[in-house]
């Protein structure tokens, strides 16, 4: 999170303004064991001839510390099993860096996240926004410790307590100007959610995140989570609290229906999931797991 990285300015000025797309509609419903009123009116469902069969999956305590929705901050450090297994050096993989530049040869990131980032910048390029740069990605504990020592607590977190230790976060810049003024920054703040990314440390949420505004720091959480967070103006901290409170959230994003459920985990836990339906499982790095039923 080196602040000076984003002061990089190239000689040629940006020739055109960004044309920003309008986000698609997001319909969100939520309910909990208290049967609270839903935010959106429930849709009528077509009758089915048979009931959906359910199966149970076994979840261990270690799953709490793995997945795309892990909360990492001064209170909740990264566990060894939480680091993504597909971290790659972006400079060495030219197929992953088409459409943007990397600041130096050492930058690493989850391969899956890099592919999704590339999809996002390709979409932005079609709208005339094309001066993206990645200045930082995954850092191991040694690198994070050195950064903390050199930058201090005002600009860095101790080793193991930074999202950069996960492999899911990246610092995004513009080769034209500072990110808070660049078309790239404006485009991302409006559209990143559609590709599963969130602005992790917004300007008006410092008291919640404990981190100063960082217009360059984006985190991959995936759909529908990024869409719900955008819709409700939630940080990751707030979103995870929201899921714990509501227990179950239904969301329709660009015509695709998702269902998100929170389950507390203290030991080996059995969780029901529909037979034959795809799902994703993520811990929250605190006390439970989130099951996301996919379209």
Q: What is the spatial distance between Cα 42 and Cα 52, in angstroms, rounded to a whole number?
A: 19
131 in Cβ contact with 182 (< 8 Å): yes
Dihedral, 218, 222, 224, 228 alpha carbons, nearest 10: -20
| Rounded distance between C-alpha atoms, residue 274 and residue 257, angstroms | 14
Burial class (CB in 10 A: 0-12, 13-18, 19+), 15: exposed
> Which is catalytic among the residues 163, 184, 214, 231?
214
Tell me if 127 sits within 8 A of 21, measured CB to CB.
yes
The answer to whether 278 and 243 are in contact (CB under 8 A) is no
CA 279, 283, 284, 287: dihedral to nearest 10 degrees? Answer: 120
Q: Is the dihedral of CA 273, 277, 283, 284 positive or negative?
A: negative
- Residue 190 corresponds to which tokens in the numbers above? 């409006």
- Residues linked to residue 133 through DSSP beta bridges, in sequence order: 101, 173
Determine whether 214 is an active site residue: yes
Examine residue 224 and say whether the peptide bond preceding it is cis (omega within 30 degrees of 0): yes
- Both tokens of residue 24? 């698609």
Q: Are the CB atoms for 135 and 171 separated by under 8 Å?
A: yes
26-31 β-sheet, strand order: 26-31, 248-253, 256-264, 288-293, 279-283
Residue that is written with structure tokens 């605190």 in the block = 286
Enzyme catalytic residues: 214
């Amino acid at each position: 999170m080196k602040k000076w990285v984003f002061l990089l300015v190239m000689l040629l000025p940006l020739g055109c303004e960004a044309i920003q797309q309008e986000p698609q509609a997001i319909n969100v419903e939520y309910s909990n064991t208290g049967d609270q009123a839903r935010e959106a009116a429930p849709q009528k469902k077509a009758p089915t001839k048979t009931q959906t069969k359910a199966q149970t999956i076994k979840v261990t305590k270690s799953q709490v510390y793995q997945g795309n929705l892990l909360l990492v901050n001064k209170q909740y450090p990264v566990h060894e099993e939480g680091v993504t297994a597909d971290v790659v050096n972006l400079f060495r993989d030219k197929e992953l860096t088409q459409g943007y530049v990397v600041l130096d040869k050492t930058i690493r990131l989850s391969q899956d996240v890099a592919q999704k980032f590339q999809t996002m910048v390709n979409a932005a390029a079609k709208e005339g926004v094309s001066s993206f740069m990645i200045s930082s990605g995954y850092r191991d504990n040694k690198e994070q410790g050195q950064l903390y020592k050199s930058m201090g607590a005002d600009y860095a977190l101790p080793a193991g307590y930074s999202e950069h230790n996960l492999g899911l976060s990246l610092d995004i810049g513009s080769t034209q100007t500072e990110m808070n003024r660049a078309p790239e920054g404006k485009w991302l703040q409006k559209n990143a959610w559609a590709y599963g990314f969130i602005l992790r440390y917004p300007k008006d949420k410092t008291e919640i995140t404990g981190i100063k505004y960082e217009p360059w720091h984006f985190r991959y959480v995936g759909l529908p989570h990024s869409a719900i967070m955008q819709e409700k103006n939630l940080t990751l901290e707030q979103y995870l609290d929201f899921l714990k409170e509501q227990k179950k959230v239904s969301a329709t994003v660009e015509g695709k229906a998702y269902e998100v459920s929170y389950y507390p985990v203290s030991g080996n836990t059995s969780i029901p999931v529909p037979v034959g339906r795809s799902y994703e499982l993520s811990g929250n790095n605190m006390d439970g797991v989130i099951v996301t039923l996919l379209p």
